[in-house]
A = this chain, B = another copy of it.
Amino acid sequence: MRKPKVLAFDVFGTVVNWHGSITAEIKRIQLPVDPNAFASAWRKGYQPAMARVRSGELPWTKIDDLHRMILDQILNTFGISSLSEDEKYELNRIWHRLKPWSDTIEGLTLLKQQFTIVTLSNGNLGLLANMAKHASLPWDLILSAEVFRHYKPDPETYLGVANTFDLPPEDVMLVASHKDDLLAAHQCGLQTAFIERPFEFGPDHTRNDLHQETFTNYHAKNFIDLAQQLQQSSQ
């Protein structure tokens, strides 16, 4: 396979540290819950909520609104009834201010010199734009499930990136820390790069899925490592 032309990045977990950002926010606003349990519960509602959209049970619904539906449920589960509407709106917007991993900015800047770098996230456009502005993420283009009106892992998302740039699928590489995402992209004909993010689910959670897979073209510790591997590649 030749080198890709466009790198499409998963965002939550791959580019930014959702667990660490949310637990820090929970502590900052002094919400009386276990920050780790609360962050994990919020994220755990994410796949089932998107599944309701993917199945057609819900009409197209932005991640901002899905995050809010899940937040309302878990506030109830955790027995929190003290937040005003404005406070709940602001807490939900923490997803717009997630912090990048320590290698993210340097790695993306290196990769941008060789490739067109874009997002391919289930996050909505406004969320991703606010996050990029807040964290200085140097995207060439922000692409989202919202553009394709399909959530990953629907094929319309991966093929949508190729179509956006009028390229065959093999000229696009998905970069992600989640193997289900990479497998779906691989099945659509994209190249794939796995990024180890051992602390994605928090410092106390041990990931057992960091081994190399046959369906990934690259396996990197972080974005700087990926940039070096791609630079050295003779493909």
Contacts and interface: CB of A to CB of B under 8 A. Distances in A.
A217 interface: no
Interface residues of A, number: 20
Contacts of A24: none
A17 to B, nearest CB: 22
Interface stretch (A37-45, A126-134, A195-203, A219-227): A126-134
B129 A141 contact: yes
A116 B140 contact: no
Copies assembled: 2
Nearest to A165: B126
B125 A129 contact: no
A51 interface: no
A178 to B, nearest CB: 24
A129 B140 contact: yes
Interface in A112-131: 116, 118, 124-126, 128-130
B129 A118 contact: yes
Interface in A128-146: 128-130, 132-133, 140-143, 146
Interface of A: 64, 116, 118, 124-126, 128-130, 132-133, 140-143, 146-147, 164-166
